[in-house]
């Protein structure tokens, strides 16, 4: 009996000792997890776009742009961009604008044309539309009435307009086309890269300058891990 009592006491002692240290495995798990995160974290060494897309740096990060040829409405252009995992692209800086102009000139020249327009991802704000077009905060139009809609364009300095635009003709011109012109000067003094506000449903025109010849899609670039 004495021996059994001693054995039992020792068992209780070790059991209590073991019980008192049950928090240690939790700490070990934390340590292990932290170590695992450190060893598996990969460093981003660059960014890439799909073939045929240009890579650009924005305030929010890296952005890919591609110009597609088509004559269509702005909503259809938005949908086509969504179908390639992108959005109708805004324009953040002069590098992007120069790239889009070059691609756009390639399109109109391939069609034996001198001018045309591309849908870009900018619209007149709802709060600055209709009878609210001159509301506080909506003027001047260039700076305040328009917004980019791709969710990734921060700067507004690329809202540059052809002469006498935006005119919000018949209070119905909500969307934005970028002019592509192979003329010097272009129709009405327009230059490539300048913009016109126009009805979102309008894609064709008797004026070659206003005829939609394409649209600009954009999406975030893919990180490359080292």
* 201 dihedral zone (left: phi>0; alpha: psi -120 to 50; beta): alpha
Size of site (CB under 5 A) for Ca ion: 5
Three-state secondary structure string covering 161-198: ECCCCCCCHHHCCCEEEEEEECCCCCHHHCCCCCEEEE
Nearer to Ca ion, 103 or 117 (CB): 117
CB count in 10 Å sphere of residue 38? 8
Which residue number is nearest to Ca ion in terms of Cβ?
197
Residue 168 beta carbon to Ca ion: minimum distance, rounded to whole angstroms: 7
Nearer to Ca ion, 37 or 170 (CB): 170
Residue 197 beta carbon to Ca ion: minimum distance, rounded to whole angstroms: 4
Copy the structure tokens of residue 138.
Answer: 């909506």
Residue 190 beta carbon to Ca ion: minimum distance, rounded to whole angstroms: 12
Structural element, H or E, at residue 20: helix 2-20
- CA–CA separation, 100 vs 56, rounded Å? 12
Pick the binder of Ca ion from 197, 203, 220, 221 (CB under 5 A).
197
Over the window 154 to 193, marking each residue x when it contacts Ca ion by CB under 5 A and - when it does not, the resulting string is: -----------x-x-----x--------------------
3-state class percentages of the chain: helix first, strand second, coil last, to nearest 5: 35, 25, 35
Nearer to Ca ion, 74 or 196 (CB): 196
Residue 143 beta carbon to Ca ion: minimum distance, rounded to whole angstroms: 17
Nearer to Ca ion, 65 or 175 (CB): 175
Are 92 and 59 in contact by the 8 Å Cβ rule? The answer is: yes
Nearer to Ca ion, 49 or 195 (CB): 195
Residue 44 beta carbon to Ca ion: minimum distance, rounded to whole angstroms: 42
Residues engaged in binding Ca ion (CB under 5 A): 165, 167, 173, 196-197
């Amino acid at each position: 009996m004495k021996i059994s009592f001693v054995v039992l006491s020792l068992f209780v002692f070790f059991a209590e000792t073991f019980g008192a240290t049950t928090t240690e495995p939790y700490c070990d798990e934390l340590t292990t997890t932290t170590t695992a995160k450190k060893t598996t974290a990969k460093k981003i060494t660059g960014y890439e776009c799909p073939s045929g897309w240009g890579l650009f740096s924005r305030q929010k990060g890296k952005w890919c742009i591609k110009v597609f040829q088509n004559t269509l409405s702005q909503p259809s252009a938005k949908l086509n961009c969504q179908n390639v995992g992108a959005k109708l692209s805004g324009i953040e800086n002069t590098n992007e604008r120069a790239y889009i102009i070059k691609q756009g000139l390639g399109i109109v020249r391939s069609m034996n044309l001198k001018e045309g327009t591309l849908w870009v991802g900018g619209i007149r704000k709802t709060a600055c539309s209709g009878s609210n077009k001159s509301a506080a905060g909506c003027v001047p139009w260039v700076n305040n009435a328009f917004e980019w809609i791709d969710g990734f364009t921060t700067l507004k300095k690329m809202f540059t307009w052809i002469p006498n635009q935006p005119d919000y003709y018949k209070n119905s011109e909500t969307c934005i086309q970028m002019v592509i012109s192979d003329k010097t000067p272009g129709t009405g003094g327009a230059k490539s890269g300048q913009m016109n506000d126009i009805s979102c449903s309008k894609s064709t025109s008797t004026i070659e300058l206003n005829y939609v010849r394409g649209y600009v899609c954009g999406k975030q670039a893919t990180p490359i891990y080292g």
